[in-house]
């Protein structure tokens, strides 16, 4: 089999890695000129940890863990009003790992010895009985047995084969923005979190960072204007060091800005074209499970493909569907806890966080909070291929 993967993100690189292990010829086309390793930190949990282990890369991923220790909640004057262990805050347990997305990408890329076409993309494709004829943006044409869309929430392959994004995208009424700050903000493997009604700002510095990274998450149903302008409007008159961060974001080279959205589709394949990761079933940053879904999806798709092309995509969907549904369901509930709607809720949350270490049933309370994530992260029996 000769397979084209569109997109060198977590899903695309992980799929390339698995297919190479099975001896399949793989080409990865990535629109960016180099690996898009811009980074926020992401969690790998449950079944996805097992996928990394089976792929022989878990130890390498552990070497680049963020090793963030604590999350401090700050008030408008920057005073630390409550502190929580970063693992508890992130709902991680056991072997779960937190890693900067770019570091994970580099580990996967180093493990996947395949042909890369950077700075190019699938311009058009024609699916036929004997293969998929692909015309690239560069003008080149080639025929592949299978084309995989691993090109993210705004997947072009999905657009070409299944139709407009609006049919599948469910916006959760919020936007997220991230950039790398040149200042370390006095942090050493720590995270600061500042909440106001409808808007949350988060600054963290991982083990490998020179500066720090800032993340803005805010309620805003619509895209309106350029990212920097929208940020400035959304965080107008905010407290703490938010105005300074918003001003720096406007000058940042790596400003990331997008709506918080799910992708929901009835089918993830059509003919010889199939989708994986965010392109098929984005769960949004609010779920904290997008990376894990991409890793597990790539593992299952690769495994089913090498069992034989006939019926492979149906088997992939059958095995993945409930896992996807369970993880997408986390997003909306999590979002309510990440962006609080009133001052009273922020006050209450801060009080609870201060009390938590002193509560007699502390571990049980934490277990109850993290239980839905744990259940979703392990809601699949991984086949052995
Ligand atoms: C702020 C934020 C925080 C997050 N936190 C977490 C977290 O804590 N835990 C978690 O599990 N997940 C998290 N995620 C989500 C996670 O990063 C993604 O869900 C996951 O990486 C899935 O990746 P993917 O490979 O499907 O898509 P992407 O990572 O989006 O990769 C798609 C790739 O395709 C390329 N591409 C796009 N269009 C084309 C084209 N036309 N042709 C060729 N290439 C193209 C892109 O350049 C990119 O390299 C977070 C996301 C954000 C934004």
Rounded distance between C-alpha atoms, residue 74 and residue 79, angstroms = 5
Please tell me whether residue 249 adopts helix, strand or coil conformation: helix
Q: Give 178-188 pLDDT, tens digit per residue.
A: 999 999 999 99
pLDDT at 38: 67
Instruction: Compute the distance from residue 34 Cα to the ligand 1 centre, in Å.
Output: 15
Ligand 1 atom closest to residue 11's alpha carbon, by position in its atom list: 25
Instruction: Compute the distance from residue 172 Cα to the ligand 1 centre, in Å.
Output: 17
Rounded distance between C-alpha atoms, residue 297 and residue 275, angstroms = 9
Probe target for ligand 1 pocket from 178, 291, 335, with the most ligand atoms within 8 Å of CB: 291
- Listed range (37-46, 127-136, 292-301) with the worst mean pLDDT: 37-46
Rounded distance between C-alpha atoms, residue 90 and residue 77, angstroms = 25
Q: Give 53-94 pLDDT, tens digit per residue.
A: 999 999 999 999 999 999 999 999 999 999 988 888 888 888
Break the chain into its structural domains and give their ranges.
2-63+96-169+261-336
As a whole-number percent, the residues of the chain with pLDDT over 70 amount to 99
Mean pLDDT to the nearest integer, 233-248: 96
Question: What's the burial of 194, exposed, middle or buried (CB within 10 Å: 0-12/13-18/19+)?
Answer: buried
Q: Give 281-322 pLDDT, tens digit per residue.
A: 999 999 999 999 999 999 999 999 999 999 999 999 999 999
Probe target for ligand 1 pocket from 290, 328, 338, 377, with the most ligand atoms within 8 Å of CB: 290
What is the fold of 2-63+96-169+261-336?
A: FAD/NAD(P)-binding domain (3.50.50)
Rounded distance between C-alpha atoms, residue 201 and residue 218, angstroms = 9
Mean pLDDT to the nearest integer, 122-144: 96
Asked if 92 and 66 touch (Cβ cutoff 8 Å), the reply is no
Whether the per-residue pLDDT at 330 is higher than 90: the answer is yes
As a whole-number percent, the residues of the chain with pLDDT over 90 amount to 85
Using alpha carbons, select from 382, 276, 278 the residue that is nearest to residue 328.
278
Instruction: Compute the distance from residue 278 Cα to the ligand 1 centre, in Å.
Output: 6
Ligand 1 atom closest to residue 279's alpha carbon, by position in its atom list: 26
């Amino acid at each position: 089999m000769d397979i084209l993967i569109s997109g060198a993100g977590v899903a695309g690189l992980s799929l390339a890695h698995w297919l190479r292990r099975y001896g399949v010829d793989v080409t990865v086309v990535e629109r960016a000129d180099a690996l898009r390793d811009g980074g926020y930190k992401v969690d790998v949990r449950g079944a996805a940890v097992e996928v990394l282990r089976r792929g022989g890369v878990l130890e390498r991923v552990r070497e680049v863990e963020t090793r963030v220790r604590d999350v401090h909640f700050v008030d408008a004057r920057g005073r630390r009003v409550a502190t929580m262990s970063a693992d508890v805050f992130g709902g991680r347990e056991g072997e779960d790992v937190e890693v900067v997305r770019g570091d994970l990408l580099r580990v996967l890329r180093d493990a996947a010895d395949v042909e890369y076409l950077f700075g190019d993309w699938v311009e058009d494709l024609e699916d036929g009985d004997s293969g998929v004829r692909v015309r690239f943006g560069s003008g080149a044409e080639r025929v592949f047995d299978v084309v995989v869309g691993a090109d993210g929430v705004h997947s072009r392959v999905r657009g070409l084969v299944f139709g407009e994004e609006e049919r599948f995208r469910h916006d959760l009424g919020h936007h997220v923005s991230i950039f790398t700050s040149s200042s370390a903000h006095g942090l050493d493997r720590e995270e600061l979190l500042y909440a106001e009604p409808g808007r949350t700002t988060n600054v963290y510095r991982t083990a490998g960072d020179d500066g720090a990274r800032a993340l803005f998450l805010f309620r805003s149903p619509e895209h309106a204007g350029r990212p920097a302008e929208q940020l400035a409007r959304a965080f107008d008159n905010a407290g703490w060091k938010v105005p300074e961060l918003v001003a720096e974001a406007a000058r940042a080279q790596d400003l990331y800005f997008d709506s918080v959205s799910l992708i929901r589709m009835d089918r993830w394949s059509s003919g010889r074209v199939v989708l994986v990761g965010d392109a098929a079933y984005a769960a949004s940053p609010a779920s904290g499970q997008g990376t894990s879904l991409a890793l597990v999806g790539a593992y299952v798709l690769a495994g089913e493909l090498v069992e034989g092309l006939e019926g492979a995509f149906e088997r992939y969907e059958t095995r993945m569907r409930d896992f996807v549904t369970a993880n997408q369901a986390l997003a909306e509930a999590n979002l309510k806890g990440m962006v609080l709607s009133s001052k009273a809720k922020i006050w209450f949350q801060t009080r609870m966080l201060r009390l938590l270490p002193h509560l007699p049933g502390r571990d049980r309370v934490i277990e109850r909070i993290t239980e839905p994530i744990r259940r979703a992260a392990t809601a699949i029996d991984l086949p052995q291929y």
